[in-house]
Amino acid sequence: MGLIDQQSDFEPEINPAHIVPVIDFSPDTLRSIVAHLEVSTDFEHLVYREAELDAIWSITGFFLMNEPDSASFDTVSSLHEGAHHAHDLIAACRPRDAANVLRNFL
């Protein structure tokens, strides 16, 4: 799973009409979602961002269930809650506010 404090020079292409592949909750994945949130304007874009946050929420939930003794447990738990909050902000058509929530985990 992703370690939240890693840094990378990875710079994904930003196209709000594309879905960000979410296979972990690494900083690269979160940065890509944040970047896409910042340029998402259409309803279709917001649906994609909600799906990406659903994936972050699910992956972090699996981590929390399977790694209760992890040193990262509290941080991942906060991200899990943050992904849920960001999802709600997208549903309220506030993608930039959702980006700010996720940015707190970078």
Residue 12 confidence class, pLDDT cut points 50, 70, 90: low
Closest CA to 21 of 48, 60, 58: 48
Please compute the mean of the pLDDT values over residues 11-29 and round it to a whole number. 89
Task: Say which residues have a Cβ less than 8 Å from residue 24's Cβ, sequence separation at least 6.
Answer: 1, 2, 59
Task: Say which residues have a Cβ less than 8 Å from residue 57's Cβ, sequence separation at least 6.
Answer: 80, 83, 84, 87
Token pair 């994609």 is at which residue? Answer: 48
Residue 42 confidence class, pLDDT cut points 50, 70, 90: very high
Please compute the mean of the pLDDT values over residues 18-37 and round it to a whole number. 96
Phi first, then psi: give them for residue 54, nearest 5 degrees.
-60, -40
Residue 20 and residue 13 in contact, taking contact as beta carbons nearer than 8 Å? no
**Is 41 a residue whose pLDDT tops 80?**
yes
How do residues 47-104 score in pLDDT, each as one tens digit?
999 999 999 999 999 999 999 999 999 999 999 999 999 999 999 999 999 999 999 9
